[in-house]
């Protein structure tokens, strides 16, 4: 079970450590309110501040994750909780100063990985701003629209180096996605969306009392396979 919990932590870290060059961070001086469903002005999301609660199924195991974001997605944090056969896991993942952090809130330890350019990351894609080059590279296709959680979503698929995915996207937020690679299948679904929720600003920082060590994406993946 320790391996399972470790794998969940690594998965969260991997998702937050990859950064595709199609993502535009936006201008700090642009505070224009954008229309729902649009990410004009370089914003990642169409709403300024939000919370999305997800359930995730990974190889038959269920977890709960909450995405918090502010400033149209320039700041965001994913908190993931799981309990498997009595063993609890509570992790927090976020990006700061060019690194992707994964904090084990139970063990008071954490790791950080230097953000890698030009790798696929379903948490960091601006679907409406993909260049044709990126679409071709990842074989991204828009497959029409579908309703999910009462929202009109655009549906995308991708197929890249053995990774296949399908995404239901609203306001540039992936409300649902399905991924498969090397026999591992992941399904993540939003079950709740909140606009302008209250949360502490410190959620985007390393908590006090946490010991953080730097690692590499390759080492993290090796540990997951052991």
DSSP string, 189-218: EEEEEEES----GGGGSPPTT-EEEEE-HH
Tokens representing residue 145 in the block: 């629209």
In a domain, 49, yes or no: yes
In a domain, 192, yes or no: yes
pTM of the model: 0.71
153 — phi, psi (to 5°)?
-105, 145
Q: Find the domain containing 91 and state its range.
A: 2-24+36-121+185-225
Q: Is the pLDDT of residue 168 over 50?
A: yes
User: Can you tell me the mean pLDDT for 50-76?
Assistant: 87
Tokens representing residue 158 in the block: 């991708």
In a domain, 166, yes or no: no
pLDDT score, position 217: 62
CATH number at residue 76: 2.50.20
How many structural domains are present in the chain?
A: 1
pLDDT score, position 148: 96
With residue 160 as reference, give the H or E element that holds it: strand 151-160
pLDDT score, position 225: 44
pLDDT score, position 219: 62
In a domain, 18, yes or no: yes
- Residues written for the chain: 226
End-to-end CA distance of the chain: 13
In a domain, 164, yes or no: no
Per residue in 81-101, pLDDT tens? 877 666 777 889 888 888 889
Q: Does residue 11 or residue 55 have the better pLDDT?
A: 55
Q: Is the pLDDT of residue 154 over 60?
A: yes
Largest CA distance in the chain: 49
Rounded to an integer, what distance in angstroms lies between the CA atom of residue 48 and that of residue 126?
A: 15
In a domain, 150, yes or no: no
If DSSP codes are grouped into helix, strand and coil, which group holds residue 115? coil
Per residue in 122-144, pLDDT tens? 556 677 777 788 788 888 899 99
């Amino acid at each position: 079970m320790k391996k399972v919990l470790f794998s969940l932590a690594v998965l969260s870290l991997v998702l937050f450590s990859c950064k595709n060059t199609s993502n535009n961070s936006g201008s700090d001086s642009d505070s224009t309110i954008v229309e729902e469903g649009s990410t004009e002005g370089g914003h990642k999301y169409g709403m300024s501040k939000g919370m999305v609660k997800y359930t995730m199924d990974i190889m038959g195991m269920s977890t709960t994750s909450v995405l918090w974001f502010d400033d149209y997605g320039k700041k965001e944090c994913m908190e993931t909780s799981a309990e498997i056969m009595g063993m609890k896991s509570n992790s927090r993942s976020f990006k700061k100063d060019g690194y992707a952090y994964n904090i084990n809130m139970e063990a008071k330890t954490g790791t950080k990985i230097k953000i890698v350019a030009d790798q696929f990351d379903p948490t960091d894609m601006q679907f409406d701003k993909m260049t044709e080059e990126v679409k071709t590279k990842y074989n991204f296709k828009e497959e029409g629209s579908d309703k999910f959680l009462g929202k009109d979503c655009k549906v995308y698929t991708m197929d890249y180096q053995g990774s296949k995915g399908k995404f239901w996207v609203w306001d540039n937020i992936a409300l649902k996605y399905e991924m498969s690679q090397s026999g591992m299948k992941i399904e993540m679904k939003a079950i709740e969306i909140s606009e302008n929720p209250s949360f502490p600003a410190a959620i985007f920082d390393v908590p006090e009392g946490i010991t953080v060590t730097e690692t590499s994406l390759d080492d993290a993946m090796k540990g997951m396979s052991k």
